[in-house]
Amino acid sequence: MKNLMLAILVSACAVGTAAGQGAPVPGTCESKAVANDGKPLTGAARISFMNKCKRDTCIAKAVGSDGKPLSGAAKASFMTKCLREQA
């Protein structure tokens, strides 16, 4: 009985994961890159939007262990690493 329940659970997770691979994740820069008329951004507008969105996301995460915003070399290092990971 346990094996059957485990098999059902695993297959349900696999189906859910496979179904969501084609669409962008809500709340990501990809899903937000939409013009006012509802159409996806293209070309230079999309590139500019994506760069700004990624930079803003990294700035929000640039906080030290004490809860204060990073500054100077620590912030520059963090931003470089964060932007590289988001690419």
Model pTM score: 0.63
User: Are 71 and 77 within 8 A, CB to CB?
Assistant: no
pLDDT in tens, the chain (87 residues): 666 555 566 666 655 544 445 555 667 899 999 999 999 999 999 999 999 999 999 999 999 999 999 999 999 999 999 999 987
pLDDT at 5: 58
